[in-house]
Structure 1
Amino acid sequence: MSEQHSVVEVSAKDLQGPGVVFCPNPKMTQWSTHPKVYVDLSHDGEGRCPYCGTVYRLKAGEKIAHGH
């Protein structure tokens, strides 16, 4: 039996620094269900929350700005 997880598509403006988003995010109905963690999308445009399994995916055509 496979477990279903939410998939959240994010745009570059949703990123909290160089290619990361945080989970839980404020749009979640139970946003305080686990500690805030940063999910790295910078390697392949996708990452998974280790607590709830939510997948965060960069929207098609969006680019991660790499600053130095």
Structure 2
Amino acid sequence: MSSNQPLPVVELSARDLQGHGVVFCPHPKMPLWSAHPKVYIDVATTGEGKCPYCSTVYRLKAGEKVHGH
């Protein structure tokens, strides 16, 4: 990925999160969802997380709240 291109961003609702506020990547909401091994990314703690493989940013939609956080 070129440094001039913006990072891909996937906006999520709280219902899209698994377990304790994580999302897995590759995720069906991203265009190339089968591009690398599956990893789990914590989104609940800060409202955003980035995949270490593809740099896709997973972000909670504005106003979304994760229960228990």
Q: Given the two structures, how large is their TM-score scaled by the length of structure 1?
A: 0.84
Aligned pair 1:24/2:23, yes or no? no
Which of 12, 15, 18 does residue 17 from structure 2 map onto?
Answer: 15
Is residue 2:53 matched to residue 1:55?
Answer: no
Question: What letter matches 1:35 in structure 2?
Answer: P
Contact 1:21 1:40 in 2 (8 A): yes
Q: Distance in 2 between matches of 1:54 and 1:2?
A: 15
Moved >2 Å (runs of 4+): 1-4, 27-30
RMSD: 1.7
Where in structure 2 are there 5+ consecutive unaligned residues? none
Sequence identity percentage: 64
Aligned residues: 67
